[in-house]
């Protein structure tokens, strides 16, 4: 359930074969430790892929970006993958201006996950 527009929240589900973490609000210096802790817990379960849904984000700063890059690096190092469901334009612009949209596995929606099962 999405929180207020400026707060950060996350919701993890295991309804399908992949863990899905939906992010809401602002992923910034105050929120990054919470995301890092959630991802560390999920990584301990050793899933083949973790999916982060960025559609509920309203803001992404460099600290939040660093959290996403760290999770991606850990996944690659462990032979797993991290997939991001693209967020709104304000979030996608961060990936675009940093050139990371070509480095990270970013898909348009859940339908793309099914066609990119891996």
CATH number (domain holding residue 104): 3.30.750.24
Domains held by the chain: number = 1
Span 41-100, pLDDT tens digits: 999 999 999 999 999 999 999 999 999 999 999 999 999 999 999 999 999 999 999 999
Does some domain include residue 1?
Answer: no
CA distances from residue 3 to 11, 13, 25, 58, 70 in whole angstroms, order as listed: 11, 17, 7, 11, 25
Lowest mean per-residue pLDDT among 5-14, 32-41, 82-91, 96-105: 5-14
The boundaries of the domain holding residue 66 are 8-115
> Which strands make up the sheet holding 81-85, listed edge to edge?
8-13, 20-27, 49-60, 81-85, 105-107
Domain assignment of residue 89, yes or no? yes
- In a domain, residue 23? The reply is yes
Looking at residue 40, what DSSP letter applies? Answer: H
- For residue 3, being part of any structural domain is answered with no
pTM of the predicted protein model: 0.90
């Amino acid at each position: 359930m999405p929180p207020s527009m400026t707060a950060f929240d996350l919701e993890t589900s295991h309804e399908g074969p992949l863990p899905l973490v939906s992010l809401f609000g602002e992923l910034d210096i105050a929120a990054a430790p919470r995301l890092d802790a959630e991802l560390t817990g999920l990584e301990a379960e050793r899933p083949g892929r973790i999916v982060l849904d960025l559609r509920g984000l309203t803001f992404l700063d460099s600290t939040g970006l660093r959290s996403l890059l760290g999770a991606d690096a850990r996944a690659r190092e462990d032979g797993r993958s991290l997939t991001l469901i693209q967020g709104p334009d304000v979030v996608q612009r961060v990936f675009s201006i940093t050139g990371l949209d070509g480095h990270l596995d970013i898909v348009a929606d859940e339908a793309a996950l099914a066609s990119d099962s891996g």
